[in-house]
Structure formats: C-alpha cells, structure tokens
Structure 1
Amino acid sequence: MHLKEQRDKEGVVCKRCHDTEHYWLQNKWSYQYKSCNSRTSLLSGTIMESSKLSFMTWYKTIFLLSTTKKGFSSKEIQRQLGLKRYEPVWAMVHKLRKAMGQRDDRYTLEGMIEMDEGYFTVEASQQAHNTQKAGRGSKTKSNVMVIAESTILEDIDTGKVERQCRYFKAKVLDDHKSEGTDATFEKAIDGEKTIVFTDKSTSYVNIADYVEIHMSEKSDAQTTKETLKWVHIAISNAKRNFVGTYHKIKKKYLQLYLNEFVYKLNRRYFGERIFDRLVIASITANGH
C-alpha cells in the first residue's frame, strides 16, 4: 500500500533497540523487528497514530489539501467527506498544517533574499472582546515576517535582467522588537551565504550580523515593485487566499495557516508529487 511504500523509503527504526531490520506482518499491519521481536504498527510515530478518524479519512484529506493551490477550511473538508463531527476534522487538518511547517523548517534559504513584514487580519483575543471598544467580531492585526529566496536571471538575447523567486518562508512575529526579528531570521537562513534586501525598518538593525551583505532601501512604490517584489506578491496572495477560504483566523493559529500556504507555494511546480510529499511530512512530523 502507498503509506507503507513511503514509510519504507524513510526507514523504520525500532524505538526499543534502534534496529532497522524487520519483517512486515501483513495481517497485523505492523513491522516486527528481528533483534528484539517487538512490533510497530504502520501508523505508529506518524501524526495519524491514535487518531479516532479512519486511515482513509486522513488520506482523503491529504489528497484534498494537496490538489488545490487554495486552502480548504476544516468545515469544507467535513462537508466533502460527509463526517458528522467537526472537532476531529479541525484537529486533523491542523496536525497536517503543523507537519507542513515542520517539513519546511528543515530547510534554510540562501543566496539573494528579500525580507519584509506583512500585517494579517486575525480575530481579536478574548481580552479585546471584553473591552468597551471591541464589539462582536472584533479584529486585530498580526505581524508576519516573509522571506523570499530569489536569483538574478539575464536574458542572453535582450540583456534584460530579472529576479526570479524560488522558495519562501513566513513566520509570525510576537512583537516589533529587533531581537525577536533577528532570532526568527537567523533560523530561516543559511548563515553567511546570504545577501538580504530589506527596507529601512528599525527592526532590521542587527540583520547584518547574520548575513554576508545587508542592503536596505527606503520603502516606496519602486521598492515594492522591484527590490521586494516577491515578498509583497506572497503577502498579497496569502491575504487573498485567507479571505476567500476562511471565515476567521485566530492569532494563535495563524502560523498553521501560513504553513499550508507556504508549503504549497514552495512546491508549486511539483504537480501530483505534492501528495507523496505531504504523506512523507505526515510520517516524519514530530508530535501528535
């Protein structure tokens, strides 16, 4: 079966003795290790382990999430699959979004990088709801760092130079302090192998400590269209995607929605292979 094929590619290791030699027990849907004879079920160690939802429900959801550039709300997945209860579907979809984020966190960006921050509309906290000014359906803004890895391409015939984009990262920032921005940025890049372009925000004063070259320009229309073109396209597309798909997003879950958007964006040329990649992300994700 497909899940077993993907698990075998990733490798199966015994938690007890760390052995990799095993037999497959078809009637038990389990691996049995040669050295200690302990068994591990096919779903053990994956985000599907201990789920009350069926294996096929997970697989159908992975298929739905991987076949469209737009997101799928949990409510829509519940409707598509004909499931009675919303809560297990919501938990399943968020586990998949978390797995997407963990998979992308394995990779760092290098070369030429554009970086800027975008403000995403999210549902206000309960504390805000309880104030006099905050009415029903109150909203607030959440600050998100968006990074785009780009490369310069020159047309041999015309000599025209353009910057093309490869990979993205998007991380929710807790505040506007430069220390938080620095730490988030440092985790996202490959050390000294980067040249970063930003605007002149005071949040970026220490960025030069982590890269080979830091180039900053005053924020204006030209900067948006040229120097920081790809990050602004990503921010705009993400906002449009969220508004058209989700009724509301709580701030504490915003990163999960960004995970899904960026995961698909980074694999925009994968075609049908993105299904296999998401299955692998589900197998290798940490935590349940």
Structure 2
Amino acid sequence: MRAGGHCDNRMYVLLIYLSGPMLVSMGIQGAPVGGVDYPRTYQEFREWFPDDASCAAYLARLRWPDGFRCPSCDHDRAWQTSTRHWKCVSCGRKTSVTAGTIFHRTRTPLSTWFAAIWLVTSQKNGASAKNLHDMLGLGSYETAWAWLHKLRRAMVRPDRELLSDVVEVDESFVGGRATGKLGASTSKAPVMIAVENLGPQVNRKLRLGRVRLGVADSPGSKQLVDFARTTVEPGSVIRTDGARMFRTLASEGFKHEYISGYSSPEPGHVTLPGPHRVASLLKRWNAGTHHYRVEREHLQYYLDEFTFRFNRRRSSARGMLFYRLLQQSVNTDPHPLAELVSRTSELFPLNDNAAEFVPSDTHGEF
C-alpha cells in the first residue's frame, strides 16, 4: 500500500483480518520507479507522507523488502499493533520498524525525519545544520548537527562495489585558513582520493566515474597504498605518482601505472586529472556549504556525504536519492549521540552556517 493509500503490487499488502492488520510479504520487485516507489516532487512527498503512520509504513517496506521476518523465530507474518510496532503471529515477539536503525528510539515524529532527508537530498549541495534547524524548527542546533551526522553515516553502504577499470589514486589537503595568517593552515587534513577515469569524451576533456575518499593520519604515508588495495577491484589499472611505496601493487593483482619521479614537468591536473578534479570540487563544496568549518575528527562524515552526492551527480530524479538514503538508513545501526558530538580534536571550529553554493566550473560533474 503506497503512502497515499493507493494499492500497488510492489508494496506491502495490509489485510484486515480478525483482530487487526496483518503484514504479509509483498516487497519491491525490480528497479524502483518514480511515482510508485518514491515521490518525484515535493508535492508528491507531502501527499505520500502526511503523518507518522504513512512514514512507518514506508519504512516497513524498505526494511523488509522480501516480507516481514521475525528476528526471533523467522516467521513471515505479524500483526500491526501500533504505528511502529508489529507482533509475530508465531512467537508473539514485538518488533519496532525503527529498532536498530538510525531512527532507533527517536521521539521526534518520523514525518520530521522524512522532511529532513528530503531537504538534504533535494538540494544539490546539501544542507547545513543551521539550514536544518531553521527550516524544520528543531529544538537545538546540536540536534540538527547530530541528525546530519547520522544521515552521513547512512550514506555509505558497507557492501558497496569496489572501483574498477582505470583508477587514479592521489591525496590532497582539506581545511580552511588560520585566522590572521597568510597561506595554507597547518590544520589542513590529508585526504586520500581514488576515482575512476572513464577516458576522454567528445567536447569534454575528462569523464569520471565513482569516487572513494578517506582521511589519512599523515601525508605521504603507506596508508595511501592500503587505501588503494581496499577500494579498487583486483585486475584494475591503478595510476599513481612515482612514490616507491606503490610499486608493490603490481605484485598484488593490480596493473600499476605511475608517473616516473616527483619532478614531472606536467602539472597535477594533467598527470592525475581525476583526483585533481575531485579535490577541486571537494574544496569548493567545503567552502560554499560549510565555510571551511569542519572538524578533522568529523571530516570522514563530510567526505562520505560528498561521495554519496558525487557518485549520484548524474541522477535527474532527486526522489531517487531520497529513496536510496532512506533505504540505507534502515540498514544502518544507531550511533550514540555522545560519540557524534565528541569534540576532543577541534582543528576547525564547528559552525556550518551555510550559504547555497554551486561551483560555476564543475562541467556537470557535481
């Protein structure tokens, strides 16, 4: 049953039987379709999710795409006892549709969570905590900040596919300028970049595929080699600079190509154009949406959001991004708030009072 009350064979079917509705298995079949599996516009979004009940029904569909399964006895039928709870017909165990997800034990209406996810995914460059706080009327800035970090954690699938074909690997530095100082701040963090280079295209100098990003402990370390091993599919071509530490990749199932020596006369955007382009877009996004104000210990969360957006930059259906993030949210474990707000290494002051920023020279890449 779609969240507007319309029945669809892709969805769960609620049968009114004896003491209440029973959830039986009718999951999504095939690729999700706009207007059927996810709202295409803001108007449809409002029609589909007017209250907590409609949101809970949608989460049930995403959490149990192949039908309900009791976590205790594996039975496939349950009675719905409240908006968010189901009771197994066989063993009687009660299960919440939000248990074990990023919505675990939330006291905020699911409709507010859904509005936050729609806002985050429908904006090309995302939203800041201040945006979220002001637009949704959340209780505090800290709540909005924690919500965004929970969503960023859900943007990365643990089982995501490795990069393949031709992959360029390099590192860059992300951070702001120290107040009252000229030049780059010593607080800039080294960021590892791996991106698929799909080759040149007509009327376009560079065509990139998917990207992976990670924070390094220190610049130029062997951690970059481990990063390449864990993000690239064996048999693929890995292009790097001439650092000797990369030479082992050739004996580990990869085809290694490198720029001989560090003194190549060619600039970085020529020798390794993929990481150079990604680094440029990442820095512009950090400057425009977050005004450089990102703490190093939380930087990976922001890199995950950039990766989520970059890898889906060509999607014309913003509703699909909403669908994918919700789908991953019900498969992401809850994260203690205390861990999210820990600020023991504040290299950058946290105050992402963002302004909407769209780079003028991204050539459709982001």
TM value normalised by structure 2: 0.66
Show structure 2 runs of 5+ residues with no match: 1-53, 336-366
Question: 295, 298, 316: which is aligned to 1:250?
Answer: 295
Partner residue of 2:163? 109
For 1:260 and 1:105, locate their aligned partners in 2 and report how far apart those are by CA, in whole Å: 17
Q: 1:14 to 1:174 in 2, by over 3 A?
A: farther
In the alignment, is residue 15 of structure 1 matched against residue 71 of structure 2? Answer: yes
Residue aligned with 2:330, SS: helix
In our comparison, the structure showing a higher alpha carbon Rg is 2
Amino acid at match of 1:40: T
Q: Which amino acid aligns with 1:112?
A: V
* Counterparts of 2:311 and 2:140, CA distance in 1: 32
Q: For 1:169, what is the secondary structure of its paired residue?
A: strand
* 1:241 CA drift (Å): 0.7
Alignment correspondent of 2:196: 149
Which of residues 249, 258, 283 in structure 2 aligns to 1:207?
A: 249
Hey, what does 2:84 align to over in structure 1?
29
Q: Distance in 2 between matches of 1:237 and 1:52?
A: 37
| Pairwise CA RMSD | 2.9
Q: Distance in 1 between matches of 2:165 and 2:158?
A: 17
Corresponding residue SS for 1:148 = strand
Judging changes above 3 Å, is the alpha-carbon distance between structure 1 residues 146 and 35 closer, same or farther for their aligned structure 2 residues? same
Deviation at 1:233, TM superposition (A): 1.2
Q: Could you say which structure has the greater relative contact order, defined with CA pairs below 8 angstroms and 6 or more residues apart?
A: 1
Q: Give yes or no for contact 1:104–1:263 (8 Å, CA) kept in 2.
A: no
CA distance in 1, matches of 2:63, 2:240: 41
Contact 2:249 2:255 in 1 (8 A): no
Structure 1's unaligned 5+ residue stretches are: none
| Aligned equivalent of 2:128, options 64, 67, 73 | 73
1:166 offset after TM fit, Å? 1.5
Q: CA offset at residue 263 of structure 1? A: 0.3
Give the partner amino acid of 2:196.
E
Q: Which has the higher helix share?
A: 1
Aligned length: 271
Aligned-partner SS, 2:198: strand
Cα deviation 1:7-58 (Å, max 9, x = unaligned): 23265543333x1512240634223233322111121121011224321221
Higher strand share: 1
Give the counterpart of 1:278 among 311, 314, 325.
325
Structure 1: distance between partners of 2:265 and 2:286: 24
Cα separation, 1, equivalents of 2:137 and 2:121: 19
Q: Which amino acid aligns with 1:15?
A: P
**Identity across the alignment (%):** 29
The question of 1:166 aligning with 2:222 is answered no
1:109 is paired with a residue of what secondary structure? coil
- Alpha-carbon spacing, 1:78–1:51, altered in 2? closer, same or farther (3 Å): same
Q: Distance in 2 between matches of 1:221 and 1:241?
A: 29
Paired position in structure 2 for 1:99:
154
Q: Secondary structure at the match of 1:110?
A: coil
